[in-house]
Amino acid sequence: MPDYLKLPTTTKGLVRVVVETPRGAAAKVAYEPATQVFGYVRPLPVGMTYPYDWGFIPSTLGDDGDPLDGLVIHQAATGAGTVIKCNLLGALRVKQKDQGGEALRNDRYVFCPHREDAADEPVAADHVPEHLRREIEQFFLSSVLGTGKTIKFKGWQDADEAHRAIRKGMKAFAARLRK
């Protein structure tokens, strides 16, 4: 089984996203590097499901010590372990605080599959429409209910700003590997 964390981040200008929790799932699933499996983490609040595929950007590292998070906007549901080559639309800047912990940045990057991976791109390939931004924000607010986490939104980044932040995450990952 491949080590999903170490897959190259980009290919031909596209960003890879490893799906952990597929669209429609009522429970959060996460990749466990030690066992190289996708494991159950917790249920979402009653009645909620993931509106789109959720996962991580390989070979990146965020302020929380995990790979950068990615939400892939498309109509299909895939499965845990699916790798999708995507166009980056932007990012939702998020300040997160775990119960009793310090506040840190934990942004959510938003993608759509590149045409060769999925022909049903419901959004323009260069931004997240306003109505979709509000829906995404509401999902993330609701998804942390009962976890002890609090999140605050700090605005949206366009694709160029988000690409710079991903490059920073790639550099942090490379520095961690050198240690």
Nearest CA to 159 out of 99, 97, 111 is that of 111
Can you give the pLDDT at residue 126?
59
- Alpha-carbon span 55 to 79, nearest angstrom: 11
Can you give the pLDDT at residue 128?
87
Tell me the pLDDT tens digit for each residue of 122-157: 455 557 889 999 999 999 999 999 899 999 999 999
Tokens of 50: 């993931």
Q: What's the domain range around 32?
A: 4-178
Tell me the pLDDT tens digit for each residue of 46-90: 999 999 999 999 999 999 999 999 999 999 889 999 999 999 999
Query: Chain centroid to CA 28: how far?
Result: 12
Report yes or no: 111 and 118 within 8 Å, Cβ to Cβ: no
Tokens of 177: 């590997």
- Enter the pTM of the model: 0.92
- Alpha-carbon span 114 to 158, nearest angstrom: 18
- Alpha-carbon span 5 to 174, nearest angstrom: 12
* Domain total in the chain: 1
Can you give the pLDDT at residue 116?
61
Report yes or no: 15 and 86 within 8 Å, Cβ to Cβ: yes
Tell me the pLDDT tens digit for each residue of 96-130: 998 888 899 999 999 999 876 445 544 555 578 89
Q: Which CATH number fits the domain that encloses residue 88?
A: 3.90.80.10
Can you give the pLDDT at residue 1?
61
- Confidence tier at 179 by pLDDT (50, 70, 90): confident
